[in-house]
Structures are given as structure tokens and as C-alpha cells.
Amino acid sequence: MLYFAVAGLSYYFIFDHETFKHPKYLKNQIRMEIWQTLQSLPGMAILTAAAFWLEVRGYSKIYDTTEEGPGMWYNIIQFPLFLLFTDFFIYWIHRGLHHPRVYKHLHKPHHKWIMPTPFASHAFHPLDGFAQSIPYHVFPFVLPLQKFAYIALFVFINIWTVMIHDGEYVANSPIINGAACHTMHHLYCMLFEQAPYRSCADHSQSIITTDNSLRYQIDCLAAIGSRTTSCSRRSRR
């Protein structure tokens, strides 16, 4: 329900419908994105439920009240800690998914959407989708996490996943992975699919490797030339 609610709102109020005119946008693409998501969600849900079961059965460091945790100070710092921890490890998982021996089996279905819509946000192979969520489940086994903060972060992550696929270039930030960065990732990884691990994997979510991804975008623009005109025009707004 969260997927349909957030993706639907993003599609109607944020998504740039000019994307439909892009030559790499597929016929009936939204229908195919939703169908792939519906096929993948049950598998991802089963794997996620197993992780949640371990967490709520007391094997993790999830706590309820402030008195049970490290203190009031940690109730605040747990949010940036969670985001930094998960972002770092998701970068390496994402990079691994772009390895030639793995990419075609797991991650390539997600890159079928060269010009993605918000409905592509969860259109993964189920193992691919769960693999990129592993750091979210590992964190509460390594560091304490308040249970309501965990729920809030889980919702935020799903919303953010939709946002980076909405194609709306609100900001081309050198720090935050937004739609501008992630749309380029989808576009260039397909155009340069022969070397997805060496270069495209560098263009990922990690704050630490942003400079590499930006340099890669520049190199791709120079290589593609006029072919990027229709897709890059929005990034100059």
C-alpha cells in the first residue's frame, strides 16, 4: 500500500510527464513496472518478515523507551548513524550487483527502465531488492535503535526510493543522491552496459563516492554527445 500511495502521489504531482516523449521510454512501461513490482513484492516480503521476526524476538538491539536505550542523546543521533551506516554498505552491495557475473541475473531487470517512473522504484528482482535492504536489518543487530524510529526510517527509505525514480531534478546535489543522480545512473548504465561494474557501479548512492559518480556523468555526456540532449535538458533547469 505504501508503494502505491507514494508512487501514485509522486506520479501525479511530481513526476515530469515529458519523460513519456523520451525515445528510451518503453511502451506500456508503467504497467510493466507495476507488474514486475507485484511479482517481486511477495518474495521480498517473506525475506523481510524473517528479518523482522529475529529483530522483534529479542535477538537485536531494538529498544522501546529512552530508559532502555543509551540515553536521550542517542534518540537523536541514531538517525544520522542509521543513514550513514546503511548508505555505506548499500553502496558496496549495489556495486556488487553490477558485477558482470551477478548483474545479468539479479540487477539487470531493474535497469530495464532506462527512463524510470516512480513505479519503477520497487521493480526489482526479489533477491536484488532484499539484498539492498540487508544493511537496514543488520543495523539494529550492531547498534541500538528505538522501535518507532525504526518504523519511521523504514517508511522514509521507501519514500526516498520512490523520490529518486521520479525524474524531477529538484536539486543536482554533490552530496545527496536524488533523482538527477539516479536517473543518470539508469540511463548511462544501459548505454554503457558492456562495462557496468567498472564504471556504472561507481555512480551509486554512496556519499563517499559522489565525486567519482559526477566525473563519470561528465565523461558519459562527452561520449554520448547529442544523444543525451532530450534526457539532460531537465538537469539544467
Tell me the C-alpha distance between 106 and 95, whole Å: 12
Residues 6 or more apart whose CB falls under 8 angstroms from that of 194 comprise none
* pLDDT tops 60 at residue 148: yes
Q: What's the mean pLDDT in 122-130?
A: 92
**Overall residue count recorded for the chain in this entry:** 237
Q: What's the mean pLDDT in 171-187?
A: 63
Look up residue 97 and give its amino acid.
L
Q: Which of 113-127, 155-169, 210-224 has the lowest mean pLDDT?
A: 210-224
Tell me the C-alpha distance between 211 and 59, whole Å: 38
Q: What's the mean pLDDT in 105-119?
A: 86
Q: pTM of the full predicted structure?
A: 0.74
DSSP assignment, residue 14? T
Q: How far is CA 60 from CA 57, 63, 124, in A?
A: 8, 9, 27
Tell me the C-alpha distance between 154 and 145, whole Å: 12
Distance between alpha carbon 135 and the CA centroid of its chain, in Å?
13
Output the nine-digit C-alpha cell for 73. Answer: 542523546
Q: Which of 8-22, 135-149, 162-176, 193-207 has the lowest mean pLDDT?
A: 193-207
**pLDDT of the residue at 172:** 59
Tell me the C-alpha distance between 156 and 160, whole Å: 6
Q: In which band, very low, low, confident or very high, does the pLDDT at 213 lie, cut at 50, 70 and 90?
A: very low
Nearest to 233 by CA among 175, 167, 178: 167
List the domain boundaries for the chain. Answer: 2-170
Q: What's the mean pLDDT in 134-160?
A: 94
